[in-house]
Amino acid sequence: MSDTIKDATLEYAVRLGDDANVLGHRISEWVSRGPFLEEDIAYANVALDYIGRARMFYGYAAELANDGRTEDDFAYMRDDRQYQNLLLMELPREDFAYSQVRQLFIDIYYGLMLPELVKSKDDTLAAIAAKAIKETRYHLRRSRDWVLRLGDGTEESHRRTQRAVDSLWGYTHEMFEMDDTEQRLADSGIGVDITKLRDEWHRQVSAILAEATLNLPEDGWAVRGGRIGYHTENLGHLLTEMQFVHRSYPGCQW
Amino acid sequence: MPEEQYHRLQQRDTSEVKELWDLLDEVKDPEIPALSIWDLGILRDIERQGEHIIVTITPTYSGCPAMDTITEDVKAALNAKGYESIEVKMQLSPAWSSEWMSLEGRRKLRNYGVAPPEDAADSEDGLTPDAHTLCPHCGSRDTRLISEFGSTACKALFQCQACKETFDYFKKI
């Protein structure tokens, strides 16, 4: 592996790890706050899948960096400006409809992205993707069912779900943008050319929203910046909670 | 016998360290103590290089919290028999499949009160069906899915309409 490609792969692994870590933490906040016990457990399971992915991506980043850092350094010892997750992942959990709509957008995204990453010339990224695909199929079935139920449900659930779609829409564009690093990796057959998946994502999302009697928003606004470390205020608060123990008790083991 | 099963048994039977496979039968999954890591298909390979033993395991789900405990348990089981130089490797590829579970493991699972993957009715998308998974308690198929996600990542939750008991179903993946 050439040094440029190696550095780019490391950065890519960190980004994918950040996406999984931040979303996994955000979802885990539903534990003990779900609408009923089974949903509490379901969210705990999905969160765990994402935290597992984060560990695998960070573990690989640490291996590539080969400078003594471990997966924990990537998760706990970086500040918000160093995190490169998509903004969509860090937005607060809000109400149940909001979290499920976000999850639907993300599940469809990974449902398209992971089968491409499986073809990566990088064996480790391909192996992580192959594991994650199977889990995402279960996640997607749940988020799809909930969005259908809530969108085509009571007047209140419909109103809340439509509000979630409208407030999240502007954050979805960033999922399909690539910088030079990701372009180089896509050209080398290591990363996914995510821009090519946008139309299919849009098609699948539109079909589910239509079935749920929800309106597809106009593309009026877009927010971006997560990949270069410009985050919403939410990430700092999330990291504070996530990193507190590790930073307050360095080297603590149990 | 499913093809995956056959290959796993062949691998074990033709191994040069057959006694170590037997020894590791005592390492159980901490979440489902009725099953050994062999039964679940988590144990992928055992190699011996001189005095050095390399055990390869694979996680069921990405976030499976049992892997650290299993790693420790594998080392402890081998240490107890005098093996000192042990390395436990985590292998991600090929991704774990519920097909790898041993036939014996499936029986044990059912006796333990968890429906194994093949006790589910067929579903169009290959995921968990909404109903008709065989109840491990009374054998009825008059059952329904309560939750896609159960007490661990690998299980879903069902209820039997005949005996009214709830039960875990080990998901196909």
Cβ A38–B149 below 8 Å, yes or no?
A: yes
Instruction: Map out the domains of chain A as residue ranges.
Output: 3-248
Q: What is the pLDDT of residue B128?
A: 84
Which of A:200-219 have CB within 8 Å of B? none
Q: What is the pLDDT of residue A185?
A: 97
Q: What is the pLDDT of residues B37-79, one digit of tens each?
A: 999 999 999 999 999 999 999 998 888 888 889 999 999 999 9
Cis? peptide before B94, omega within 30° of 0: yes
pLDDT at A75 over 90: yes
Average confidence (pLDDT) over A32-55? 93
Cβ B93–A123 below 8 Å, yes or no?
A: yes
Tell which residue, A99, A124, A128, has the closest CA to residue A113.
A128
Strand B114-115, strand B143-147: pairing: unpaired
Q: What is the pLDDT of residue A252?
A: 80
Q: What is the pLDDT of residues B127-138, one digit of tens each?
A: 888 889 999 999
Average confidence (pLDDT) over B29-36? 90
pLDDT at A79 over 80: yes
The full set of domains in chain B, from first to last, is 3-100 (3.30.300.130), 113-170 (no CATH)
Q: Is A118 on the interface with B (CB under 8 A)?
A: no
Cβ B93–A142 below 8 Å, yes or no?
A: no
Cβ B61–A138 below 8 Å, yes or no?
A: no
CA distances from B173 to A28, A37, A124, B3, B170 (A): 23, 24, 20, 16, 9
pLDDT at B173 over 80: yes
Q: Is B148 on the interface with A (CB under 8 A)?
A: yes
pLDDT at A254 over 80: no
Confidence band of A109 (pLDDT split at 50, 70, 90): very high
pLDDT at B168 over 80: yes
Cβ neighbours of A105 (radius 10 Å): 21
Q: Which CATH class is domain A3-248?
A: mainly alpha
- Mean pLDDT over each residue of chain A, to the nearest integer: 96
Confidence band of B141 (pLDDT split at 50, 70, 90): very high
Which residues in chain A are closer than 8 Å to B63, comparing Cβ atoms?
24, 47-53, 55
Which residues in chain A are closer than 8 Å to B168, comparing Cβ atoms?
none
Distance (Å, whole) CA B86 – CA A138: 36
pTM metric for this prediction: 0.91
Q: What is the pLDDT of residue B149?
A: 87
pLDDT at A2 over 90: no
Task: Starting at the earlier edge strand, list the strands of the sheet with B52-57.
Answer: B43-49, B52-57, B85-90
Distance (Å, whole) CA A216 – CA A249: 47
Q: What is the pLDDT of residues B82-133, one digit of tens each?
A: 999 999 999 988 989 888 999 899 999 999 999 998 888 887 777 888 889 9
Residue of chain A minimizing CA distance to B67: A52
pLDDT at A158 over 80: yes
Q: What is the pLDDT of residue A123?
A: 96
Structure letter (DSSP) for residue B152: S
Q: Which of B58, B71, B92 to mutate: most A Cβ within 10 Å? A: B92
Q: Is the ipTM of this complex over 0.90?
A: no
Distance from CA of A83 to the nearest CA of B (A): 21
Confidence band of A93 (pLDDT split at 50, 70, 90): very high
Cβ B148–A126 below 8 Å, yes or no?
A: no
